[in-house]
Structures are given as structure tokens and as C-alpha cells.
């Protein structure tokens, strides 16, 4: 039975992705709710039916009181036995079935799947964002919003059907029931409804903003805490335990303050609600007693009115809390939308086609990019790299080397100019096809918190075990991998490497990264300080491997250690975002220009970071 309800909607069903999600709360939620619209219709109908049954049950109990006061037990049974049996069947069989279906629709059909669908699609949307988008936010805050928004949206939907729809139907039923007993009984209930609606309005107009502020504060705490955990080595290295505590305390205190403001609203609401409920009970029950004393109402009517008002009084706290929870959840969703509903700014062109790779010629034309700042980055770069040519990029920090590589990978769209691969503008081909043809080893050799095998196979998931091990051997990684063991007892290639590969040394991470790129075997190879984390002995072995890997590929290598690129076909020197020199190593030394000064100023093969006089 549970499986029937749990499989009414597949949260992983195919859907049409949008680069620009709705920016308003209602359309945003409706986008995710579309697969559930039939279930929602059934849920509303069941809530109304269940509420109607509950109201009718109170009416029936009032009738039972009247029946019991009309004669002897034998007479009552003879005249009303059928009604009493039917009432018992309704209570024992029909009511549980209706309640069970209503509960199963919400608890098993909607709640597990609605949140899952939102989380799945939100994660898919965020993964499509550009590298620059991620660089402008905390990973912890992004993840927190991805995790907070789905349960908040699910809670909002749950309250709509479990509380709000039920409460509206129940209240209307109560008005109808009292009106049928005596129209005058409905008057105090209607007056109470007006006052109660005012209290609800007062509460929800304040809870929404307060809950959003509290949610923002919680996200800020998560961002700061995750930032400290991610950079725990720096925290320990600089002995900033107390500083990080103080930094987190500011955000935690703001969370406490915003939450306290939110709770003040509920305290005021509870006090006002208690007074209103007293008015409801005295008004309806007192009026019913007065009518009975006048002979205008039976004892059963008094009993039904009493039961109804007591039930309403008990429900009011739940209803207003449910509505507050509904709007508080909407506040959390609104905060999550600040991340989830951001449009994808770096997209494939409408007519983008897969890259038709032929020879690997790279042509850079008037390339300009300043990250929107108007300075820094690149300015008017013109460069052609022939198929199979190995080019080294040299320059001081900030000269534009990494920017050039990021633009080649289309992590950013160039502000001016273009890059062509085999005559095709990379802005007009699909991003995935572009990056499939480029292998890169960077100085930031971070790994996934997965097994060594998974990390190497990331380069080419369909590769065989032998191919994976061969790549590790070529990267001088196989030997140390066999000796690995993680805290869970997994060994060798099954051992997990920790977040960003923290359980491995810098050199080990670099070699696993190299193995991943070797396995990918892309025709264009980018090396950004590929051997920076290796000791001299391992570097010498890796250099031989790299020369083998470079064969037949178009290569761009960035290096501060000039000895690693001295044998390149050509060396391009960047300074202040422009190409100032290019040629072979010997030619550049003979010119006695900037490259020659770099070479002369090396200590252990590194470029000086300051400009030569």
C-alpha cells in the first residue's frame, strides 16, 4: 500500500530545464508543483471530506444525546438502533479509511517526493552555473540553501492540505451546523472568525519577514562555519582558534537575535489567541445555554455547540501555528530562491553544436577580459598555437596566464575578442564538448571525497580497471596508492582521500590528478604548475611521463619554474595582460628582455615576483 502512494510521482522524471527560473515565489513553487497537481487536487478534496465528516460526527453526537433523553433504553434501541449501528460503522470503518487515505497522500505521496524533486532539480540548476558564479559565494551557504529549501517547501505544501484546507472546511462546516441548529448560534462564531482572521493577518505579516531574516542568519552561520572547517589547516597553522570562534560568534549571535524576534511574535499571538478562544467558548456555549433555558434549543444542541467550540478552541492554536509555519516556510523558500532561482548567465548559444575537433589549432584573436573591473586580466591578446605545438606561458603573478586558460575552458565569457579551435568559435560550441577535448592539471590539485579509483576514473568513467591502473603507474601514483588505508579500513584504490584530497600529501594529490588527466587522454592539454607540488626526484620521473603524454597534443603549459618549460616549442611571455615576448628558450635569452631577466633572477628555477629594475 505504501509503495502505491510513494510511486505516484517520480521526482527524477525528465523535465525541461530553464536558464531563467521564475523570480517570484508563487511561479517558482508552481514550477516544481506541476507534476503533483493531480495529487494536490485529491489532497484538497480529501481534506474537505475529512473535515465534513468531523463536523457531522459532532452533530451526530448531539443527536445521540437527544435520542438518549427521549425514552427508555429499550425504546431507544427499537427506534434508533439502526442509526446507532450505522454511526458505529462510520466511526470504526469509514472514518479511518478516509483519514488513512488523506494521511497517506500527504505523508507518503507528497512529502518524500516533493522535497526530493526540488532538491534534485535545484542541484541540477546550480551545477550548471559558471565557475565565476561559485567563486562569488560560499560553498557552505549554497549547499545550505539547497538543503533548507526543499523541506521548507514541503512543509508549506503540507500545511496547505493538512491544516489550512482542513481548517477552512471545518470552520465553514461549523458555521453551517450552528446555523441549522439555530441561526443565532452562528453570530458569536462569525464575530470570533473576524477577530481571529485579524490575529492571523497580524501574525503572518510579521512572521514572513522575521523567518526570512532568521533563515538568512542561519545561512550566514553555515557559511562561516564551513569556511573554517574547509580551511582548517590555515586555522591551525596561524593559531586562530579564538579568532574563528569570535568570527562565528557574530553570526551565531545574529541568528539568536533574529530567532528571538520571531519568537516574540508567537508569544504575543498565543496570549491574544487565548483571550479570543475564551470569547468563542463563552459566546457560543453561553448563547446555546440561554436558548436551552428559553426552550429554543435541545440538550443535544447545547452538547454539539459545546463540543464544536471546544474542538475549534483546541484547533485554533494548531491552525495559527500551521499558518505561521506555512509563511515561515515560504520565508525560507524565498531565501533559498536567492541562490536557486538565479539565472544561468554562461549558457550555450541557441544554435550551439558539439566541437568538431580535427587538428587542435588554437587561434586567439584580440582577446580582452577584465572580470568586469576595467583593469587587470587580459588586453588585446593575439596568439595562434599550431596543431601539436607545445607553448609555455610565463609571467609574473597577475599577468593574465590563468585568465587565458579560464577563457580557453570557457569558465568565463570573454569581454572582447574570441578563441577559435579548428576555426570554431568556442562561444558557439557546447561547453561539455569543448571541455571533453581539453585535459588540465592545475596547481590546485583538489580531489573528490571519494575513493582513489573514483577520482582517477573521473577522467574517463568508462575506462577499464587495467587502463585506470596503467594511468596511475604512468603518473608515478600506483606505488603509494597500494599502501593507502582510510579510517574505515578501505585499502588501495578503494581508500577514500578525504575532502579535497586532504588525507593525501600535496605530491600524492598531484600525481592522482595527473593520472586522471592521463586517463582522459584529451587532444588539448593544459598544465598549470603541473609539477609544483612534487619533489625533485618524482618531478624528474613525472616530466618524462608528461613529455610522453604531450606527444601528438596541443599543449599550453604555465610555469614559474622555467626549467620545466625550457624545452617547449615556443614560450610566450605575458606582462600586465599583454604579450610582450615570444620565441624559443634560447632566442628569448639572446634578446636579453623580460624572459632573460626572469631566468637570471631565478632561485631554484622560480620567477621573481617583483619587476626587474
Q: What is the pLDDT of residue 405?
A: 92
Residue 207 lies in a domain: yes
Burial grade of 369 (CB within 10 A; 0-12, 13-18, 19 or more): buried
pLDDT class of 185 with cuts at 50, 70, 90 = confident
Higher pLDDT, 18 or 212: 18
Q: Which residues of 266-289 are buried (b: 16+ CB within 10 A; e: fewer)?
A: beebeebbeebbeebbebbbebbe
Strand, helix or coil for residue 570 = strand
Residue 400 lies in a domain: no
Residue 495 lies in a domain: no
pLDDT averaged over every residue in the chain: 85
Q: What is the pLDDT of residue 573?
A: 94
Q: Mean pLDDT across the stretch 197-222?
A: 82
Task: Find, among 36, 28, 46, 34, the residue nearest to 9 by Cα.
Answer: 36
CA gap 290, 223 in Å, rounded: 62
Task: Find, among 461, 280, 430, the residue nearest to 355 by Cα.
Answer: 430
Residue 203 lies in a domain: yes
Residue 58 lies in a domain: yes
- Stretch among 98-107, 185-194, 300-309, 479-488 having the lowest mean pLDDT: 300-309
CA gap 494, 482 in Å, rounded: 10
Please report, for the chain, how many H helices and E strands are present, in that order: 22, 10
Q: Mean pLDDT across the stretch 59-69?
A: 77
Residue 451 lies in a domain: no
With a cut of 70, say whether residue 73 has pLDDT above it.
yes
pLDDT class of 604 with cuts at 50, 70, 90 = very low
79-89 tens-digit pLDDT: 788 888 888 88
- Stretch among 254-263, 270-279, 475-484 having the lowest mean pLDDT: 270-279
- What's the sign of the alpha-carbon dihedral 52, 55, 58, 63? negative
The pTM score is 0.75
Residue 461 lies in a domain: no
Task: Find, among 424, 398, 423, 403, the residue nearest to 415 by Cα.
Answer: 403
* Residue at grid coordinates 562555519: 225
Q: What is the pLDDT of residue 522?
A: 93
Find the domain containing 301 and state its range.
Answer: 2-340
CATH value at residue 191: 1.20.1560.10
Q: What is the pLDDT of residue 335?
A: 80
Q: What is the pLDDT of residue 352?
A: 93
Higher pLDDT, 71 or 357: 357
Largest Cα–Cα separation, the chain: 123
Residue 469 lies in a domain: no
pLDDT class of 599 with cuts at 50, 70, 90 = confident
Domain count, the chain: 1
SS3 content of the chain, % helix, strand, coil (to 5): 65, 10, 25
489-533 tens-digit pLDDT: 999 999 999 877 888 887 888 889 889 999 999 999 998 876 665
CA gap 431, 47 in Å, rounded: 48
Q: What is the pLDDT of residue 423?
A: 94
Which whole-number Å values give the CA distances from 125 to 15, 152, 352, in the listed order?
Answer: 12, 18, 19
Q: Mean pLDDT across the stretch 224-248?
A: 86
Amino acid at each position: 500500500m505504501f509503495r502505491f502512494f510513494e510511486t505516484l510521482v517520480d521526482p527524477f522524471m525528465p523535465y525541461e530545464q530553464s536558464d531563467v527560473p521564475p523570480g517570484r515565489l508563487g511561479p517558482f513553487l508552481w514550477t516544481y508543483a506541476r507534476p503533483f497537481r493531480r495529487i494536490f487536487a485529491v489532497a484538497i478534496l480529501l481534506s474537505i471530506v475529512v473535515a465534513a465528516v468531523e463536523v457531522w460526527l459532532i452533530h451526530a453526537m448531539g443527536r445521540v444525546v437527544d435520542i438518549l433523553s427521549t425514552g427508555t433504553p429499550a425504546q431507544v434501541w427499537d427506534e434508533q438502533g439502526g442509526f446507532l449501528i450505522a454511526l458505529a460503522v462510520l466511526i470504526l470503518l469509514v472514518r479511518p479509511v478516509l483519514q488513512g487515505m488523506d494521511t497517506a497522500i500527504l505523508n507518503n505521496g507528497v512529502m518524500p517526493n516533493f522535497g526530493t524533486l526540488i532538491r534534485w532539480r535545484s542541484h541540477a540548476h546550480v551545477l550548471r552555473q559558471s565557475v565565476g558564479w561559485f567563486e562569488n559565494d560560499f560553498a557552505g551557504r549554497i549547499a545550505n540553501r539547497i538543503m533548507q529549501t526543499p523541506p521548507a517547501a514541503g512543509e508549506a505544501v503540507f500545511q496547505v492540505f493538512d491544516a489550512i484546507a482542513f481548517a477552512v472546511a471545518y470552520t465553514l462546516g461549523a458555521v453551517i451546523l450552528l446555523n441549522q441548529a439555530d441561526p443565532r448560534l452562528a453570530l458569536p462564531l462569525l464575530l470570533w472568525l473576524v477577530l481571529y482572521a485579524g490575529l492571523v493577518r497580524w501574525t503572518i505579516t510579521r512572521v514572513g519577514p522575521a523567518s526570512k531574516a532568521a533563515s538568512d542568519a542561519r545561512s550566514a552561520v553555515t557559511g562561516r562555519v564551513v569556511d573554517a572547517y574547509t580551511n582548517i589547516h590555515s586555522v591551525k597553522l596561524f593559531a586562530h582558534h579564538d579568532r574563528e570562534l569570535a568570527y562565528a560568534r557574530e553570526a551565531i549571535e545574529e541568528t539568536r537575535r533574529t530567532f528571538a524576534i520571531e519568537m516574540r511574535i508567537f508569544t504575543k499571538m498565543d496570549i491574544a489567541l487565548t483571550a479570543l478562544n475564551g470569547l468563542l467558548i463563552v459566546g457560543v456555549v453561553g448563547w446555546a445555554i440561554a436558548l436551552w433555558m428559553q426552550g429554543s434549543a435541545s440538550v443535544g444542541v447545547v452538547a454539539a455547540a459545546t463540543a464544536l467550540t471546544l474542538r475549534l478552541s483546541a484547533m485554533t492554536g494548531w491552525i495559527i501555528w500551521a499558518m505561521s509555519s506555512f509563511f515561515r516556510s515560504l520565508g525560507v523558500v524565498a531565501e533559498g530562491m536567492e541562490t536557486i532561482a538565479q539565472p544561468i548567465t554562461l549558457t550555450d548559444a541557441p544554435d550551439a553544436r558539439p566541437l568538431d575537433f580535427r587538428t587542435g589549432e588554437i587561434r586567439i584573436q584580440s582577446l580582452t577580459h577584465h572580470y568586469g573591473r576595467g583593469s587587470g586580466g587580459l588586453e588585446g591578446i593575439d596568439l595562434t598555437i599550431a596543431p601539436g605545438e607545445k607553448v609555455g606561458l610565463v609571467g609574473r603573478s597577475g599577468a593574465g596566464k590563468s585568465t587565458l586558460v579560464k577563457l580557453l575552458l570557457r569558465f568565463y565569457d570573454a569581454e572582447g575578442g574570441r578563441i577559435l579551435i579548428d576555426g570554431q568559435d568556442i562561444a558557439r560550441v557546447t561547453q561539455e564538448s569543448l571541455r571533453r577535448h581539453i585535459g588540465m592539471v592545475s596547481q590546485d590539485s583538489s580531489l573528490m571525497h571519494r575513493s582513489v579509483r573514483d577520482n582517477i576514473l573521473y577522467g574517463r568513467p568508462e575506462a577499464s580497471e587495467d587502463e585506470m591502473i596503467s594511468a596511475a603507474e604512468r603518473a608515478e601514483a600506483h606505488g603509494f596508492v597500494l599502501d593507502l588505508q582510510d579510517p574505515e579500513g578501505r585499502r588501495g584504490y578503494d581508500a577514500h582521500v578525504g575532502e579535497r584530497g586532504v588525507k593525501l600529501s600535496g605530491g600524492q594529490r598531484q600525481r592522482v590528478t595527473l593520472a586522471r588527466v592521463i586517463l582522459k587522454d584529451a587532444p588539448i592539454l593544459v598544465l598549470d604548475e603541473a609539477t609544483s607540488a612534487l619533489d625533485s626526484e618524482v618531478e624528474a620521473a613525472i616530466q618524462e611521463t608528461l613529455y610522453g603524454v604531450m606527444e601528438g597534443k596541443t599543449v599550453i603549459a604555465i610555469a614559474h619554474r622555467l626549467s620545466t618549460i625550457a624545452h617547449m616549442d615556443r614560450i610566450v611571455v605575458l606582462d600586465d595582460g599583454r604579450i610582450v615576448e615570444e620565441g624559443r628558450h634560447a632566442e628569448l635569452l639572446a634578446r636579453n628582455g623580460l624572459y632573460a631577466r626572469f631566468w637570471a633572477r631565478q632561485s631554484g628555477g622560480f620567477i621573481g615576483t617583483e619587476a626587474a629594475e
